[in-house]
């Protein structure tokens, strides 16, 4: 049955432009909001989550083999290079499990410390203009540290002044990096509550931010269910490709206890941060356009670039998983003035520029791709982020594979580059969106083809993105059909031997509570010995669904979706001391290595635990919280549309 919303799914997907068009049609004038007085205590800068410990962090964690060294980056000046460098000594480091039924605390022995420069923050690079020195503290990850997710704490002293900072969910020790591994990409979570309303918005599976007292305030339920499924699926790590919040309705509101009056950005991003702490898997978080705006003289007068640095880390960077290299690029690379929020006649707040841009001397905006335009690019002249991406990719040509993560896809759709502001599809809605974008100057970003050419030249195997809440996988057949004689093979590496895959992923949030072909979903990406093995739930492009009952590839009544596609429950085992784990998989594909962690009474001498229907992962005593309890990692495989029952029992030992 065809969707009543046509080939583009639900109309609400285009709500910002629709509202702007309405405002323009009725004669509204767009203007920058006038400066307003603001309480100087409001804003993320007065509530930073990153102070001195700048790596590893929640948004840029460290996955380290047990027994190896980790270089922790510690900035005693808290990113303020205008003050003199602080002499510090007496460094100590420790790790404590982030979540779970128990707590394990271990020392991370300090091997050395020295003054140097960050290798994790490109913006902290050495310059002549500023003294950007920090401390590089080398610690050992204990060989017997159980595999889990850990908060990291670093303590030091500057004279009699104690310097300390803790970063949650910052460290995961592993026995070894796997050549065949899986990671999950989710994107466009867009946390907001019922206080935000606009034409076409949905609050399905969404409630007010929890305050710890009111049971009706359940929070971002759809995101909580997504996190629960990730925790059960247990990928090696996650990548979140931007748009964590909404942040476009108003600047300041009294949100009640315990927050009081806050800016909307502070409220939503702190909310998202706290929800994300339920995740038991390392997550690398990449900036989206909604995360990057500039309040200018309004709100808390904050540039959200600065806020990102106080919450998650650098606005662009790279990381490794074993021999595989990932570049986390910032495709919202507009200037502070271009990111300045504008009041669209009270309908919403929107900056002048919100589509793709990567600065540094790349190509000017123009739709499509041609061989001549690609050949005109000279990456030796690049500066800013483009130069850093070039140099970073060049330095990692020895990696088994390279992956590019960013919010805006430079290829979609069929090489047109619509996420960067230059595209006009055949449908009426596509033409309206294109027209409004051109009239109001919301797009037209530079560097789109430069990014594509860098990926070709430096052998990037996979590019993943989000932004427009839809699934898309670039194929040669579609490109040839769309571009005809103008078709340029943007996939093949410049020197041959491989190709770039351009993959765009649907949103985690609900886009509507009506019938739609779009649905909340994610990518489960499998890598096998440096090759992209799979990224689709269903061919030719569809993401994995978060909810049972999703008609993948067809039309779904999204308002009826409430049950997660994967769930787990833990109950007491009948007839003996132990526990019973049930994992349900509503997907049409098997679930391998489903993970549940349980705490059991520590077995007395002569007794041990046995398992039926699954296997044990690591088992270790809960020394910190309850020494009489044993923490057990339970693993099992679940068939498609099936259930796995695992029983753990205490019985006599051999």
At residue 487, does pLDDT exceed 90? no
Of 377, 381, 384, give the one whose Cα is nearest residue 333. 384
Mean pLDDT, range 506-519, rounded to an integer: 95
Residues with Cβ within 8 Å of 522's Cβ and at least 6 positions away in sequence, in order, are: 184, 185, 186, 187, 226, 505, 506, 508, 543, 544, 546
Q: Say which CATH number the domain at 581 has.
A: 2.60.40
Q: Are residues 334 and 479 in the same domain?
A: yes
At residue 646, does pLDDT exceed 70? yes
Q: Are residues 128 and 244 in the same domain?
A: no
The answer to pTM > 0.85 is yes
Q: Tell me whether residue 136 is in a domain.
A: yes
pLDDT score of 168: 98
Of 31 and 488, which is predicted with more confidence? 488
DSSP state of 360: S
Q: Tell me whether residue 39 is in a domain.
A: no
* Cα–Cα dist 543/507, whole Å: 10
Identify the domain boundary among 125, 141, 174.
Answer: 174
Structure tokens at 401: 């594979």
Mean pLDDT, range 588-602, rounded to an integer: 93
At residue 594, does pLDDT exceed 80? yes
User: What's the total number of domains in the chain?
Assistant: 3
At residue 43, does pLDDT exceed 50? yes
At residue 16, does pLDDT exceed 90? no
**What percent of the chain clears pLDDT 90, i.e. is strictly above it?**
70
Q: Are residues 525 and 444 in the same domain?
A: yes
Q: Are residues 115 and 197 in the same domain?
A: no
Q: Tell me whether residue 43 is in a domain.
A: no
pLDDT score of 424: 52
At residue 210, does pLDDT exceed 80? yes
Is the peptide bond between 428 and the residue preceding it cis, with omega within 30 degrees of 0?
no
Q: Are residues 135 and 54 in the same domain?
A: yes
Mean confidence (pLDDT) of the chain = 88
At residue 19, does pLDDT exceed 50? no
Q: Are residues 595 and 613 in the same domain?
A: yes
Structure tokens at 534: 């799979």
Which tens digit of pLDDT belongs to each residue from 393-425?
A: 999 999 999 999 999 999 988 888 889 975 555
Q: Are residues 581 and 542 in the same domain?
A: no
Beta bridge partners of 538: 542
Identify the domain boundary among 560, 576, 611.
Answer: 560
pLDDT score of 27: 37
Residue 3 pLDDT class (50, 70, 90 cuts): very low
At residue 520, does pLDDT exceed 60? yes
Residue 643, domain extent: 566-652
Which tens digit of pLDDT belongs to each residue from 229-250?
A: 999 999 999 999 999 999 887 7
Q: Tell me whether residue 38 is in a domain.
A: no
At residue 37, does pLDDT exceed 60? no
Of 115 and 252, which is predicted with more confidence? 115
Mean pLDDT, range 548-564, rounded to an integer: 97
Q: Are residues 572 and 595 in the same domain?
A: yes
Q: Tell me whether residue 376 is in a domain.
A: yes
> Contact, 52 vs 93, CB < 8 A?
no
pLDDT score of 428: 65
Which tens digit of pLDDT belongs to each residue from 315-332?
A: 999 999 999 999 999 999
pLDDT score of 625: 56
pLDDT score of 253: 87
> Contact, 137 vs 120, CB < 8 A?
no
Identify the domain boundary among 124, 155, 174.
Answer: 174
At residue 258, does pLDDT exceed 60? yes
Q: Tell me whether residue 65 is in a domain.
A: yes
Q: Are residues 191 and 156 in the same domain?
A: no
Residue 650 pLDDT class (50, 70, 90 cuts): confident
Mean pLDDT, range 578-599, rounded to an integer: 95
* Cα–Cα dist 449/369, whole Å: 7
Q: Are residues 547 and 573 in the same domain?
A: no
Q: Are residues 23 and 114 in the same domain?
A: no
Q: Are residues 132 and 275 in the same domain?
A: no
Q: Tell me whether residue 504 is in a domain.
A: yes
Q: Say which CATH number the domain at 383 has.
A: 3.60.21.10
Question: CB pairs under 8 A, 24+ apart, for 548-557?
Answer: 548/586, 549/586, 550/519, 550/521, 552/519, 554/1, 554/517, 555/1, 555/2, 555/3, 555/515, 555/516, 555/517, 556/515, 556/516, 556/517, 556/519, 557/514, 557/515
Q: Tell me whether residue 44 is in a domain.
A: no
pLDDT score of 33: 42
């Amino acid at each position: 049955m065809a969707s009543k919303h046509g080939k583009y799914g639900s109309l609400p997907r285009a709500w910002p432009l629709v509202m702007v068009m309405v405002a323009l049609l009725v004669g509204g004038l767009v203007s920058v909001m006038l400066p307003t007085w603001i309480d100087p205590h409001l804003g993320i800068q007065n509530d930073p989550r990153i102070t001195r410990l700048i790596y590893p962090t929640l948004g840029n964690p460290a996955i380290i083999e047990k027994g190896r060294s980790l270089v922790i980056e510690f900035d005693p000046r808290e990113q303020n290079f205008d003050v003199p460098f602080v002499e510090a000594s007496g460094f100590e480091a420790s790790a404590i499990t982030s979540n779970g039924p128990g707590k394990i605390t271990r020392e991370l022995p300090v091997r050395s410390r020295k003054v140097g420069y960050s290798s994790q923050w490109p913006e902290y690079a050495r310059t002549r203009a500023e003294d950007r020195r920090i401390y590089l503290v080398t610690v050992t990850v204990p060989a017997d540290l159980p595999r889990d997710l850990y908060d990291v704490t670093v303590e030091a002293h500057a004279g009699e002044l104690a310097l300390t900072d803790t970063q949650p969910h910052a460290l995961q020790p592993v026995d070894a990096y796997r050549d065949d591994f899986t990671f999950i990409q989710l994107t466009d979570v867009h946390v907001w509550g019922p206080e935000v309303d606009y034409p076409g918005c949905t609050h399905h599976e969404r409630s007010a931010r929890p305050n710890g007292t009111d049971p009706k305030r359940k929070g971002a339920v759809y995101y909580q269910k997504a996190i629960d499924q990730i925790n059960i699926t247990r990928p090696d790590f996650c990548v979140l490709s931007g748009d964590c919040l909404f942040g476009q309705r108003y600047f300041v509101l009294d949100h009640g206890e315990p927050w009081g009056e806050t800016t909307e950005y502070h409220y939503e991003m702190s909310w998202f941060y706290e929800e994300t702490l339920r995740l038991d898997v390392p997550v690398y978080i990449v900036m989206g356009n909604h995360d990057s705006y500039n309040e200018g003289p309004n709100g808390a007068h904050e540039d959200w670039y600065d806020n990102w640095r106080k919450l998650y880390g650098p606005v662009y960077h790279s990381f490794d998983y074993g021999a595989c290299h990932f570049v986390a690029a910032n495709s919202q690379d507009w200037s502070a003035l271009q990111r300045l929020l504008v009041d669209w006649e009270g309908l919403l707040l929107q900056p002048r520029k919100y589509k793709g841009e990567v600065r540094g001397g790349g190509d000017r905006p123009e739709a499509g791709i041609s061989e001549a335009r690609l050949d005109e690019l000279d990456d030796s002249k690049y500066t800013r982020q483009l130069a850093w991406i070039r140099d970073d990719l060049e330095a990692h040509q020895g990696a088994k594979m390279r992956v590019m993560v960013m919010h805006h896809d430079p290829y979609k759709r069929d090489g047109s580059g619509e996420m960067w502001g230059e595209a006009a599809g055949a449908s009426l809605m596509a033409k309206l969106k294109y027209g409004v974008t051109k009239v109001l100057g919301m797009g037209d970003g530079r560097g789109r083809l430069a990014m594509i050419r860098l990926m070709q030249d430096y052998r990037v195997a996979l590019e993943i993105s989000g932004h427009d809440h839809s699934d898309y996988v670039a194929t040669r057949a579609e490109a040839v059909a769309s571009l005809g004689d103008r078709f340029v093979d943007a996939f093949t590496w410049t020197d041959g031997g491989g190709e770039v895959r351009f993959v765009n992923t649907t949103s985690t949030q609900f886009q509507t509570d009506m019938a739609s072909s779009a649905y909340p979903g994610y990518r489960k990406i499998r890598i096998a010995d440096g090759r992209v093995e799979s990224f689709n739930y269903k061919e030719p492009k569809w993401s994995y669904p978060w909810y049972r009952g999703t008609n993948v590839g067809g039309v779904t009544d999204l308002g009826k979706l409430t049950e997660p596609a994967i769930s787990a429950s833990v109950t007491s085992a009948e007839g003996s001391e132990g526990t019973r784990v049930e994992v349900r998989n509503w997907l049409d594909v098997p679930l391998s290595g489903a993970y549940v962690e349980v705490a059991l009474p520590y077995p007395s001498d002569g007794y041990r635990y046995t398992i039926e229907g699954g296997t044990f992962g690591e088992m270790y005593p809960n020394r910190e919280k309850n020494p009489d309890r044993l923490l057990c990692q339970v693993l099992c495989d679940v068939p498609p549309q099936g259930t796995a029952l695992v029983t753990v029992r205490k019985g006599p030992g051999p």
